[in-house]
């Protein structure tokens, strides 16, 4: 399993985020979804991230814990960025939603699960975060595997989507075994 560290992005790191959001192969999981974001391209899944949005994005995602959190995933061996993780509070579902995006050229190399574990460690340090959830398409075997290896479990399926959950107590038990 790869060793990763999470790095809260500096303003100078925003170019990497802009780059991965514009890569059709990296964003293919997003293709064809009903996402209500003006800068979203339904045909490719890509999202425009122009420089003028960077400061606002940073304020929203980096200065509003526990409601929003985002970090870049850094491969400890090479020191290069390989993707990003995030979580945000979904008021309607009353839970925190976790996400991971591995750049296409780094997929299948073992970054997903350790990045999600690192994200969970960050999230569960906040007493306000009791559960992390992600809705994953059942046919996305790589995503299901990544989340499962990070300790998430499927708690229900609907319309081909699995509700993957990681509960704080399960995370803590899992980490007690690693000590």
pLDDT at position 178 is: 62
Cis peptide before 170 (omega within 30 of 0): no
Residue 175 is encoded by which pair of tokens?
Answer: 């980490």
Domain extent listing, the chain:
4-178
pLDDT at position 80 is: 97
pTM as predicted: 0.94
pLDDT at position 161 is: 94
pLDDT digits (tens, 9 = 90+) for 6-62: 999 999 999 999 999 999 999 999 898 888 888 999 999 999 999 999 999 999 999
- Average pLDDT over the chain, rounded to whole? 94
Instruction: Give the gyration radius of the chain's Cα atoms.
Output: 16
Which fold, 4-178? Answer: Aminopeptidase (3.40.630)
Q: Does the pLDDT at position 179 exceed 70?
A: no
Distance (Å, whole) CA 125 – CA 132: 13
Distance (Å, whole) CA 105 – CA 60: 28
Distance (Å, whole) CA 56 – CA 38: 15
């Amino acid at each position: 399993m790869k060793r990763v560290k999470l790095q809260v992005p500096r303003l100078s790191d925003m170019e990497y985020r802009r780059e991965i959001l514009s890569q059709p192969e990296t964003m293919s999981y997003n293709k064809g979804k009903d996402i209500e974001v003006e800068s979203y391209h339904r045909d490719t899944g890509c999202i425009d991230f122009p420089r003028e949005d960077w400061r606002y994005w940073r304020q929203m995602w980096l200065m509003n814990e526990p409601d929003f959190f985002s970090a870049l995933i850094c491969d400890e061996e090479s020191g290069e960025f390989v993707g990003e993780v995030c979580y945000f509070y979904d008021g309607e579902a009353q839970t925190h939603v976790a996400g991971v995006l591995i750049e296409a050229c780094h997929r299948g190399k073992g970054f997903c699960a350790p990045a999600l574990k690192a994200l969970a460690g960050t999230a569960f340090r906040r007493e306000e975060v009791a559960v992390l959830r992600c809705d994953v398409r059942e046919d996305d075997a790589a995503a299901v595997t990544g989340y499962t290896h990070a300790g998430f479990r499927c708690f229900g399926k609907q319309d081909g989507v699995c509700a993957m959950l990681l509960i704080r107590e399960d995370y803590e038990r899992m980490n007690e075994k690693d000590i």
